[in-house]
Structure 1
């Protein structure tokens, strides 16, 4: 009896100590032994007290309810106003990348009258594919000119958040060309029969707390009938991904039924919100999206709500920050965001050295979201243990943790291409 009482007191002391650490604004935790117990909201528990038992209940009752929780507490209202984007082909080269691809540069005008409000899309089509090609859509971090060394790709004139090689006073120079080719693996993507469409995320809104003043939340507020504080930067970036889909549906060289969406890090969060908001994205990939994305906020590990909202207040609506001191009051968590992709194929990936993104939290989130996929007869992740490094697990919901750091690598792309080929029924 005494031993049992001592054990219970030790557990209680552990929980109190861990929760006190959070309350005292400890910056983070990367010690698994210090993660306190937590309880996730049940993704299948309806507000009326019943449990979702079939896909019809999910699609028509529970999914809209959860989606609204995200609009209210994390991302803000997604613009409902229909827009008519205008597209202009700025350049075409059918012998790009030494003949491997056809390159198109497309300007998407987002405002009906103001031609300064636009985003530039760089599209590569595989020349070896003679039928409409499936396509991966993804934002880049520093301009279309960074993903390839090709000289004819337009050099972005936008403000740059990341100050890497070739960026002077937050503006790109010629020295920035091809500085991020490792993240894109163009030849691998094209050789597998996929097209790639990318755009600079800063075309929509600069990645700063005041970026909204020059971004689309201000320039389009009358067009979209939504005020800047009704949504957030993540919402603006997500909305822009849908405008890329608008164009792709008009391009006869693209299979509009096979649009895969991929996002890394902060852009992985935007990707998940775009995937939740736009059903035209037939497959979604979250690459190390972490806090506010695939990871579990209730797990005190890596980045937290408190930290992310302190450093990047513009990423989410103001209400999200109010949960920083007590995430148990947050009515949603990462597994619920992932569940909004169902029944579309979903891939979640982590890197072992990227503790900030909480790899285990991302895995557990994907596994929990698999319960929703089961309603559709889809098999997700059924193992309860983290898989070994570089060993994907799961079917319609898939996960891997690879060796290395926070990045998008050749290994990642190889898995995503294989996954998309399988899910789209392609022979590649």
Structure 2
């Protein structure tokens, strides 16, 4: 759908064959477009024994970035489960830059645009000036509202455990302000290899799968907020979270 071997991959893949190699769309958004076309096909055909109203999307690492964006862009996804997506996924660009300044070996926006073609070329302008961005990735989580979102992270420095924890806990305030705090769970359990799912998160994962994909999101669900990386949210914002309708 969209190649992502390196930063020179931009413009390669089926999405660009259709819309033109000069399109400035990033690979992850092109993946989202492809998933949406798959759902179109499921909705317009029969005999596949798949309920298109109970679809989940997941992936780890770069595929976690893609899964997060797919869930944000297509409202037909009932449950989004990005795993260890780090920068470009669960982490906030500004916080990652702060962590880098503090000496952490963490992936930042400036590094990510040189590594691969995951993001559209207009983002390059802001990659080394994230304070000028009019948004950050807590808003990416907000785009999934009110649907199910269960973010899984790790304590690997490159992924930015402080950045992912703070960013997603701030994202959870969006769900809370809109009255469905339990629909957004965040869990960071360390001590395991990248993309190796820890057994400690099985119960929480099963709860979200059962609630959104089996029970169709009916009833209440208790919010999950677990992380070995402790943060003080007032470090990152000073406003009072409103109650929205």
Contact 2:55/2:213 (CA < 8 Å) preserved in 1? no
Distance 1:264 1:215, change over 3 A: same
Determine the C-alpha separation between the residues in 2 that align with 1:284 and 1:311.
Answer: 25
Query: 1:214 Cα shift?
Result: 4.2
More helix by share: 2
Match of 2:166 in 1: 364
* Higher Cα Rg, which structure: 1
Aligned length: 203
Distance 1:405 1:318, change over 3 A: same
Determine the C-alpha separation between the residues in 2 that align with 1:425 and 1:360.
Answer: 33
Distance 1:212 1:361, change over 3 A: closer
Within the candidate set 12, 33, 36, 1:242 is matched to: 36
Q: How do 1:45-124 and structure 2 match up within 5 A?
A: none
Determine the C-alpha separation between the residues in 2 that align with 1:213 and 1:425.
Answer: 38
Determine the C-alpha separation between the residues in 1 that align with 2:118 and 2:202.
Answer: 26
Determine the C-alpha separation between the residues in 1 that align with 2:68 and 2:2.
Answer: 18
Q: Please list every run of at least 4 consecutive aligned residues from structure 1 whose deviation after the TM superposition is greater than 4 angstroms.
A: none
Give per-residue Cα distances to partners, 1:364-397, cap 9 Å, x unaligned.
2222122222343212xxxxxxxxxxxxxxx211
Q: How do 1:20-419 and structure 2 match up within 5 A?
A: 204-208=1-5, 209-221=7-19, 228-249=22-43, 250=45, 251-299=47-95, 300-301=98-99, 302-312=106-116, 314-352=117-155, 354-379=156-181, 395-403=182-190, 404-409=192-197, 411=199, 415-419=204-208
Determine the C-alpha separation between the residues in 1 that align with 2:189 and 2:119.
Answer: 29
More strand by share: 1
Contact 1:264/1:408 (CA < 8 Å) preserved in 2? no
Q: TM (normalized to structure 2)?
A: 0.74
Instruction: Give the secondary-structure state (helix, strand or coil) at the position aligned to 1:309.
Output: helix
Contact 1:338/1:365 (CA < 8 Å) preserved in 2? no
Distance 1:370 1:211, change over 3 A: same
Query: 1:295 Cα shift?
Result: 0.3
Instruction: Give the secondary-structure state (helix, strand or coil) at the position aligned to 2:4.
Output: coil
Determine the C-alpha separation between the residues in 2 that align with 1:357 and 1:398.
Answer: 18
Determine the C-alpha separation between the residues in 1 that align with 2:203 and 2:57.
Answer: 15
Q: Which runs of 5+ in 1 are unaligned?
A: 1-203, 380-394
Alignment RMSD (CA, Å): 2.3
Query: 1:234 Cα shift?
Result: 1.5
